[in-house]
Amino acid sequence: MLKIDGITRRFGDVTALDGVSLEIGQGEFFALLGPSGCGKTTLLRILAGFETPDSGTVTLDGDDLLATPPNRRPISLMFQSYALFPHMTVARNVAYGLEQEKLPRQEIKQRVGEVLETVGLSALGDRKPAQLSGGQRQRVALARSIVKRPRLLLLDEPLSALDKKVRADMQLELKRLQHEVGITFVVVTHDQEEAMSLADRIAVFDTGQVRQVDEPVALYERPRTRFVADFVGANNLFEGTAGGADALLTPDFGSLPGTPLEGLEDGVKALLGVRPEKIRLGDTAASDGLDGSVLDVSFYGGVSHLSIDVPGHVKPVLVAVQGASTVQPGAQVKLQWEAGDAVILPVAQ
C-alpha cells in the first residue's frame, strides 16, 4: 500500500535519512525502531507532510503522496503529547476533525459515538481532558485519529508518557484496535519491547539508514548486522572468525557453537551473538563451555539475571534463568549453549 523509495533528507551537514526504502502493506502494524536521532521521526513527518525530502518518492496505492498537501492526505498523525484541546470535552475533541470537514451533524454524532465505544470511553464523553488519566487521554487522542477513517495512522512514541503498567495495558489495546478498525498503523518508538509486542514487522534504523526489516521473532533470533544484534534486546557478543558450518573460532575461547547467516564465508571476521535465555549453566567439570564466576544475581519475578565474569571477555556475560536462581555471587559456573541457539554474522556490517 505504501512504498517509500530512496528517501533522503539533510539538515545542513546532518543527513537525517540516507536513501531509505520501505514497503508497508495494507492493514499492517509496522514499527520504525531506533535510538534517538536515527531519522525515524523525520520519516514520519515526511509521510505526514510536515517535512519535504531532498530526494526520493513516496506513493500510497500508486499515487504520489509527496505532491498532496498535508491536509489532503488520507493520513492521521497521533502526537507524542496527545495535543488535546483542554477547553473541549472528550466528545468535542474527537468530533473536531469531522466538524472541520463540515459533515452533517447527525453523522458526526454517530461516528463519534461509535469510536468512543471502540476505545471504551462512551461514559466519559462529557469530561474535559484534565479530568482523565494518562491512559484515558491516550485513548481520546487515538479516537480522534481514527474517527476520520484514514488509510494510514502514524503514531509518534504514543506510549512514552504512560507509566509501565498502563503502557502494557495500552499495548494490548492498540493491537486490538488496529485489528478491529483495519487501518494501517506506522508507529515510531525507541522501545524494543514496545515494537516487538505491537508490530507485525519492524524496520530498525541507525544513523539515517534501515539496517534490517523483519518480523519480531526473526529480528530477535536472526539479526543480520552488529547494530541490530546489539540494539534489539540483550545479547552476548563474541568476536572471531567464521569457522565452518556451526562455529566461531576465537583466540581466547577456541571454537564457540553457532549457526552462521546464509552466505557467510569461512575465514572472514565474524561475530557470534547468543541471547541470555539461550545460555545454560552446565557441569563445571564438563570439557566444553566457558568457565566463569558469578558477579551478581538479580531477581525480576519470573526470571533471574546472572552477570558472569568470563576471563578474556571484555564485558560480563548475561544469563537469564527461570524463577529464583540458587546460584550465589562468587560461584564458579560453566556456560553452554547449542549451535542452533546462537547466530554468527559479519562483523563489518
Name 4's Cβ contacts closer than 8 Å, sequence gap at least 6. 20, 21, 22, 23, 24, 43, 47, 56, 57, 58
Q: What share of the chain is helix, strand, coil (3-state, %, to 5)?
A: 30, 35, 35
Residue 143 has pLDDT above 90, yes or no: no
Residue-wise DSSP of 178-235: HHHH--EEEEEES-HHHHHHH-SEEEEEETTEEEEEE-HHHHHHS--SHHHHHHSS--
DSSP designation for 81: T
State pLDDT tens for residues 294-347. 999 999 888 999 999 999 998 999 999 998 888 899 999 999 999 999 999 998
Q: Give the model's pLDDT for residue 161.
A: 62
State pLDDT tens for residues 154-176. 988 877 766 677 677 777 777 87
2-221, what's its fold?
Answer: Rossmann fold (3.40.50)
When the candidates are 2.40.50.140, 3.40.50.970, 2.60.40.420, 3.90.550.10, the CATH number that belongs to 234-346 is 2.40.50.140
Map out the domains of the chain as residue ranges: 2-221, 234-346
Span of 172-181, 183-192, 193-202, 273-282 with lowest mean pLDDT: 172-181
Query: What is the pLDDT averaged over residues 257-286?
Result: 89
Query: What is the pLDDT averaged over residues 227-246?
Result: 90
pTM: 0.86
Q: Give the model's pLDDT for residue 290.
A: 92
Q: Give the model's pLDDT for residue 162.
A: 65
Q: Among 221, 275, 232, which residue's Cα sits nearest to residue 34?
A: 232
